[in-house]
Chains A and B, each alone.
Chain A
Amino acid sequence: MFILRTLTNHPTVNPLYIFPSIHGRKAEPLNIHSLITLFLAFQTWCSPGLSFQLLSIRPIPSHPCLEGQLGAALRPASMTLLQTWMPLAMRLVSNRRRVITICFSLFVVFLLYTQWLHPPGYQLPKADLNNIHWANLRQHYPVESFRRLPQPSRDEIPKIQHDFNTESPQNRRQRLRRLQVVKDSFIHAFHGYEQHAWLRDEVAPLSGRSLNPFGGWAATLVDSLGMPLSRAMPQEQAYKNCRYSMDNGNEGRV
């Protein structure tokens, strides 16, 4: 159960991540279905009762994609097969064999996990895109003419935010205290990223390891670039600079 949970929580076997394999052009070498099926097959062989439990709690996490139109495609046929085998397998089981095969199945799953899926910290082979000039790449289906950007309207967008009453000194103190906590949290997180995962996509906050689920181009760094900027300048200035901010009715509040 624990292993199953670990596996399904692992980013590389999360349903969203395997999603491409059902509509993309090529299947991944090992996806969650084959992995769980393998695991359950071993379990069934040794301990049908346990597997039955696993099956009944729906080993694949619930996901709207699993239910709609795509449900049929996603629902692994092997699961159904397994359920058919189960009664047969039950008859074949002995206690000793159960213990041996549990150990063996755990070992196999561990092996699959470390070898086939990339454990955290494992450096993926890098795709070489050195000589590609994306802007000059010949298009197969080029557009005949570009849509033109709409002319900006001269009307101001009406403010929809609530007008708060004048802030009492007490409320102001509380707000500034909270603001400071937010700032401190950002600094703490930024330094953690700087120290443990600089230029990688993500820091794993508990283990202190780093992950690259977004291509390895420092996703956290780029994604949060605006944060220290907006916190370093007065709120009004941040809104002024950020010309498309829709929150310009909210000066001074965080």
Chain B
Amino acid sequence: MREEFERAVNALDQINFSTCSLEELNVFETTIRYLGGFLSAFDLSEGQYPSLLTKAIEMGDMLYVAFDTPNRMPITRWNFKAAASGERQTAPDAILLAELGSLTLEFTRLSQLSGDPKYYDAVQRVMDVFDEQQNATKLPGMWPVVVNARDLNFTEASLFTIGGMADSTYEYLPKVTSEKALLERNAADMCLAIPVTRRSR
């Protein structure tokens, strides 16, 4: 199994984020697959492969631009080329709950490992809105499956589920809680030992 991992890690250099097969990125999918993949492998290998964190930071910096909206809510289906060319963006008025609420684990961990608070800041602003709206929805305590991120109003919609398109929001809540509580102890020491993170302020 170790050989498979080595082969996989060695191939990472060939991944090039400067080309993309899509016109529109799904920020949630990109976060959980790529960011989550890099970060979990970095942690599991005890930071032995700094390139994993470099890639995660590269990815995180790109995804962070999806949060550049008036109310700092992310564009979940994101036209990154328009963003890169300097167009102004606004969060959509109808986005899936899971795509908005399941970014916290990866972004929080990225802040912990890189020492740059901006990633955590980005998702925490989203969670603040979740907090404000939680008891004002039509089913207090839960959030509807389609939420209005443009007007920060989650109280109009009446379709609720803990299944697909919503589930991971609920799944992430306890996970990110323990992540915040347990992690930083070791992360800070580990982080300083890795050359790549010295670039951070």
Contact = CB atoms under 8 A, between A and B. Distances in A.
Contacts of B22: 124, 127, 212-216
B104 to A, nearest CB: 12
A149 B111 contact: yes
Interface in A184-228: 186-187, 190, 194, 198-199, 201, 212-219, 221-226, 228
Interface residues of A, number: 72
A43 to B, nearest CB: 31
B157 A141 contact: no
Contacts of B7: 194
A141 to B, nearest CB: 5
A226 B44 contact: yes
Nearest to B89: A140
A231 B81 CA distance: 39
B21 A24 contact: no
A215 to B, nearest CB: 5
Contacts of A226: 37, 40-41, 44
Contact of A129 (B84, B88, B121, B144): B84
B19 A228 contact: no
Interface string B95-106: 110000000000
Interface residues of B, number: 92
A228 B5 contact: yes
B121 A143 contact: yes
Nearest to A139: B68
13 contacts: A65-B96, A68-B158, A127-B22, A127-B23, A129-B18, A139-B65, A141-B68, A141-B69, A201-B21, A221-B12, A225-B38, A225-B52, A232-B2
Given A69-B157, A214-B22, 11 more contacts: A23-B77, A23-B92, A65-B145, A127-B80, A139-B65, A142-B68, A214-B29, A232-B2, A241-B46, A243-B186, A244-B43
